[in-house]
Chain A
Amino acid sequence: MSVRVLRRGTWNAVGVVLFVVMVFPVFWMISTAFKPEDQINGVNPTWFPGHPTLQHFRDAIAKPFFWTDVKNSVIVVLATVGIAMALAFLAAVALAKYRFTGRKLFIVIVIGVQMIPGVGLIIPLYVLLARYHQVNVLSGVVIVYVCATLPFCVWTLRGFIIGIPKDLEEAAMVDGSTRLGAFARILLPLVAPGLVATSVFAFITSWNEYIYARVLLNDGAKQTLTVWLSYFLGTSRNTDWGALMAASTLTAIPVVIFFLLVQRKIAFGLTAGAVRG
């Protein structure tokens, strides 16, 4: 066996070990969610659920406000994605296709505001939203989420629109279409994958968001799923680990599915500039 093969084998072994270590928490969450009580609380852990049960999932969704808060999360996410995408798309077209005075300032703002840590604006936003009776209502959270996702959406969509060859658009214009016609017939279908990927990003961000939902929504019936999950343990000393892991799995599922669908595209959007520069 040559040194080269041996070395490759060693790296592969290290890679597999690291895979196991990295993925273990996710595995442990799912495994616990399906395990009967005695296997969860045993002194020696059971790695794979012996007699898988759905009881923990039943317990989790039977907890107060689960379905209400799922509904709240869905409403918040759909409203956020719809509004943010519509606004961001227009601005992204302006950035990608036009030169105008103030363009650079606009870019600085779009990138700069992404650097503001969310927690830094909690106090003025809380005071502002309280003044307009937007505390403890879903619309208040939607307003914050739209604003939080807009800059990234503008930036990412701009990348997708720039990627479209200019001659395609020009060819359509020569054919006698107006700029708007060229835009609708040529640009829109080409940019659709980018729109989907960016929407999913906005979806994930607003589904996962914790601190503003925690601060702005204080009623159990008004909260989002993330906040519901964070309160799951309550104050009892005997933690129902199985139900907690089942609830965690349920919260993660939509995000994981959507993320896996678009990860490549978003990773591209995030770093295309960086690698190119």
Chain B
Amino acid sequence: MGVAAETVSGWSRRRPLTWRRVGAASVPYLLVAPVVAVLGAILGYPIYSLVRLSFEKYGLFELIRHAGVDIGLANYRSVLHDTVFWHTLLRTVVFTVANVGLTIVLGTLLALLLVRVSGWVRLLLTAGLVLVWSMPQVVAVQVWYWMTNVQNGVVNYVLSELHLGNFFQHNWYATPFSQLAMVTTLIVWGALPFVAITLYAALSQVPRELVEAAEMDGARGWRVFKDVTLPIITPVLLILTSLSILWDFGVFTQPYLLIGQAHVNPSNYLMAIYLFEQGWFASDFGRGAAISLLMLVIVAALSVVYVRRMVRIGDEPA
């Protein structure tokens, strides 16, 4: 395969093909072969079988028999006629917009703050951010759970002490909205360090003279940011936004564990949980495959911008 590909390229046609040259030309292919094989077997094949499963009746019985029953478009019909699917999709979109918006805006503000503080505060804040960044998701969930529990959660205590209202035994998980709001605080808290530190790195590339020149011309705060700083950090901002959209749209661990397996239900489903509960947990693998595929199509559409940009960077001459 590799050899065939090389012989069509320009330089091989002009010079005679020797074993030595064929050997040299095949080196990169041999180097990437193992990765291609693994990705093909563990990603490529499952994607193919995902498509096949989505057209089949495939439950526990079929799992043991290793063969599904072709039922055409029935799985898709069932999903697309399910109001839970549409509600979940809408909820996930709103959830993603809220989470990404908060993450990016707060992350930008934090990065701008990092530029303005004294050296020791910057060091302190960066160290804190890196510590938060390093916290495993499952651990963070347990800490959130403890901080916000009804009986003696410290959040209720602090909010009451600050006279922000009576939060004595306030239940933060009473409604789907408040459940998802708690998930949002957890996700944004966990995502802020990456966004803030990355943006701070980008901000430190903004030439000081440019900002000073703008200030000399009479530009103030917001104008300087909008006209001088923003254009320079836009590429980074774009990548961070698209990454955040992808991560938050497919988020599973935090909502599933913080809301709790016993309490996830159609009123608070996010896409990943809907798929997990109705596909894997209910052992309805065929229908689950249909949900997965619909989800992957949406994600693929969302990721085009990011992938194209990164590919352009990666394809620069080595």
Contacts and interface: CB of A to CB of B under 8 A. Distances in A.
Interface of A: 8, 11-12, 14-16, 18-19, 22-23, 25-26, 28-29, 32, 40-45, 87-88, 90-91, 93-104, 106-113, 115-128, 130-131, 143-144, 146-147, 150-151, 154-155, 158, 162, 204, 207-208, 210-211, 215, 226, 229-230, 232-233, 239, 241, 244-245, 247-248, 251-252, 255-256, 259-260, 263, 267, 270-271, 273-277
B37 to A, nearest CB: 9
Given A106-B32, A267-B197, A144 B42 contact: yes
A28 B154 contact: yes
Interface stretch (B83-91, B110-118, B176-184): B110-118
Interface of B is mostly: helix
Contact of B288 (A45, A123, A208, A256): A123
Interface of B: 2, 5-6, 8-9, 25, 27-29, 31-32, 34-36, 38-39, 42-43, 45-47, 49-50, 53, 58, 63, 66, 110, 113-114, 116-118, 121-122, 124-125, 128-147, 149, 152, 154, 157, 189, 192-194, 197-198, 201-202, 205, 235-236, 239, 246, 249-250, 252-253, 257, 272, 275-276, 279-280, 285, 288-289, 292, 295-296, 299-300, 303, 306-307, 309-315, 318
Mostly, the A contact residues are helix
A121 B307 contact: no
Contacts, number: 302
A260 B313 CA distance: 28
A111 B110 CA distance: 28
A12 B121 contact: yes
Contacts of B246: 115, 117
Contacts of A277: 235, 309, 312-313
Contacts of A151: 39
A208 B295 contact: no
Contacts of A244: 142, 146
A135 to B, nearest CB: 10
Contacts of A119: 250, 252, 272, 275-276, 292
B120 to A, nearest CB: 8
Contacts of A120: 250, 275, 292, 295-296, 299
Contact of B307 (A45, A111, A204): A111
Nearest to B35: A91
Contacts of A124: 46-47, 49-50, 53, 289, 292
Given A19-B121, A211-B276, 17 more contacts: A22-B129, A23-B132, A28-B147, A29-B146, A98-B27, A104-B315, A126-B280, A127-B63, A143-B42, A210-B252, A211-B253, A233-B145, A267-B194, A270-B194, A271-B236, A274-B202, A275-B201
A208 B135 CA distance: 9
Contact of A91 (B32, B117, B147, B318): B32
B32 to A, nearest CB: 5
Nearest to A10: B116
B198 A271 contact: yes
Contacts of B310: 111, 273
